[in-house]
């Protein structure tokens, strides 16, 4: 991924705002730029926009939204900042966290009210680092639906999305001003497009094995379960232009990716009383302590795998609201048994292991005490009862959290704090609010950074472009 400063071509076409990447960040940025009256084009390498956004659950963390207020949730930027700081052990950038706390709710309201993308707060996902219910989902509760709602809104707003448009280089002058982009089209055709401002929405670098090995060595050999096309291109352009990066070792992981079927096991199964054991049938962690950080203890177990243990009642309850749970059933990932002994045999676990773990859980549930990992089992929930279920899982890298240093309007910054003349970044391409480790990731933060920074970038880039037309 290159920045070309010599032999700048004559741009036959030029657009005020060019956006690279048609995920949640790129499409939200496009809507915001159109709202300001700017012409905008989104360039997407794939045949149809998909991205990590479509692979996600579509749960966006947002603070102070109308949906929260209508449901009696009392939330504020201050409360959010305190949650972020607690989750990251004080590592997250407080100024950025505050900005996100102030702008995420209005962004979700704007998407809902102006662009007909209905997002409402979900009460199933509580806790896990959020002291208030903050996850906002579309009605169908999938990232795929979120992306198609955004795409439809873009079509209504007159945003052009050019697919099969792989940006391979950017052109810049000696003052680091971006002049345009080089696009590889099908059949090896190369096109050049000029711009007044460029928004990088190419997500992180999870699909770039060299970068993962360099910045996140603990996940160098782990499965990457994000969008393969996210190879850090935008981060590399920014750095080549002189931008600074932050928290490159941060990432969102998951300890419960069905292996080998590669379907995400819904976390509510464990919130509702399920638990994890290793290949020997022994529990090894507090299952609710950290969803993202769970990949590390799971990968450290024998064979790098674990089993999620739950029951048929929880499975049925989860089926009602989770596409992933339906997929687990469809691909035959769920093993079922009428007794703990039978489940141990089916999963090749040590005889007596599951019944022993379950008895220990039942006794701490009855006493209200914490178990040996510090987990408290909610005694208002019924105990697991036969038929029992198990899914074999492993740990995976979902998406990276480090990226380009940005200011309060998502303008990309150099190490000395000065802004590059006309470059913006958001979503997985920009730094996040997760600190430097896997444990700092708050559920919903990935899409929150995508839509909130996307909206800020789109608005500011459009204003800047309209101030200085080409």
Ligand X SMILES: Cc1cc2nc3c(=O)[nH]c(=O)nc-3n(C[C@H](O)[C@H](O)[C@H](O)COP(=O)(O)OP(=O)(O)OC[C@H]3O[C@@H](n4cnc5c(N)ncnc54)[C@H](O)[C@@H]3O)c2cc1C
Q: Which residues bind ligand X (CB under 6 A)?
A: 20-26, 43-46, 49-53, 55-60, 166-167, 201-203, 225-227, 229-230, 233, 264, 398-399, 427-428, 444-448, 450
Q: Beta-strand (E) ranges in 130-210?
A: 135-137, 160-162, 166-172, 178-184, 190-200
Continuous segment of H or E residues that includes residue 453: helix 445-467
Q: Which residues contact 206 (CB under 8 A, 6 or more apart)?
A: 52, 212, 224, 226, 227, 230, 251, 397, 398, 399, 400
Q: Which is nearer to ligand X, 55 or 77 (CB)?
A: 55
DSSP states of 365-408 as a string?
HHHT---TTS----TTSPPP-SSEEEEEEEEEEEEE--EE-B-T
Separation of alpha carbons 23 and 60, rounded Å? 14
Degrees, nearest 5: CA angle 243-27-449: 55
Q: Which is nearer to ligand X, 205 or 275 (CB)?
A: 205
Maximum distance among all alpha carbons in the chain?
Answer: 75
Q: Which is nearer to ligand X, 15 or 57 (CB)?
A: 57
DSSP states of 261-325 as a string?
T--BPPTHHHHTT-EEEETTS---S-TTS-TGGGHHHHHTSGGGEEEEEEEHHHHHHHHTT-HHH
Q: Which is nearer to ligand X, 307 or 398 (CB)?
A: 398
């Amino acid at each position: 991924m290159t920045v070309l400063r010599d032999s700048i071509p004559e741009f036959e076409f030029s657009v005020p705002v060019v956006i690279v990447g048609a995920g949640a960040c790129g499409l939200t940025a496009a809507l915001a730029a159109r709202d300001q009256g700017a012409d905008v084009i989104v360039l997407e390498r794939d045949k149809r926009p998909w991205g990590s956004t479509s692979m996600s659950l579509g749960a966006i963390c947002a603070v102070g939204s109308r949906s929260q207020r209508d449901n009696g949730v009392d939330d504020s930027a201050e409360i959010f900042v305190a949650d972020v700081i607690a989750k990251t052990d004080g590592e997250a950038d407080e100024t950025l966290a505050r900005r996100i706390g102030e702008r995420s709710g209005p962004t979700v309201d704007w998407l809902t009210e102006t662009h007909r993308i209905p997002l409402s707060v979900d009460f199933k996902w509580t806790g896990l680092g959020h002291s208030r219910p903050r996850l906002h989902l579309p009605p169908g509760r999938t990232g795929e639906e979120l992306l198609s709602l955004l795409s439809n809104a873009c079509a209504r707003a007159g945003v052009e999305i050019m697919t099969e448009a792989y940006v391979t280089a950017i052109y810049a002058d000696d003052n680091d001003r971006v002049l345009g982009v080089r696009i590889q089209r099908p059949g090896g055709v190369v096109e050049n497009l000029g711009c007044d401002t460029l928004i990088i929405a190419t997500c992180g670098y999870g699909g770039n094995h060299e970068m993962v090995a360099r910045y996140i060595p603990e996940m160098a050999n782990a499965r990457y379960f994000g969008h393969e096309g996210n190879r850090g291109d935008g981060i590399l352009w920014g750095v080549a232009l002189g931008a600074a990066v932050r928290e490159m070792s941060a990432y969102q992981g998951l300890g419960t990716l069905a292996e080998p079927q590669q379907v995400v096991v819904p976390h509510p199964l464990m919130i509702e009383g399920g638990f994890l054991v290793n290949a020997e049938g022994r529990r090894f962690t507090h299952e609710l302590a950290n969803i993202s950080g769970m990949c590390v203890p799971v990968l450290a177990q024998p064979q790098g795998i674990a089993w999620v243990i739950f029951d048929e009642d929880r499975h049925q309850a989860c089926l009602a609201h989770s596409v992933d749970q339906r997929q687990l059933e469809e691909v035959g990932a769920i093993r079922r048994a009428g007794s703990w002994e039978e489940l141990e045999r089916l999963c090749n676990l040590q005889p007596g292991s599951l019944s022993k773990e379950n008895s220990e859980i039942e006794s701490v549930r009855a006493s209200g005490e914490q178990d040996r990992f510090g987990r408290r089992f909610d005694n208002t929930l019924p105990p697991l009862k036969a038929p029992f279920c198990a899914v074999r899982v492993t740990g995976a890298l979902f998406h990276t959290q480090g990226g380009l240093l940005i200011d309060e309007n998502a303008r990309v910054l150099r190490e000395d704090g000065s802004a590059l003349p006309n470059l913006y970044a958001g979503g997985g391409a920009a730094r996040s609010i997760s600190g430097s480790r896997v444990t700092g990731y708050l559920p919903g933060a990935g899409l929150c950074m995508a839509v909130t920074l996307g909206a800020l970038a789109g608005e500011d880039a459009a204003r800047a472009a309209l101030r200085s037309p080409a």
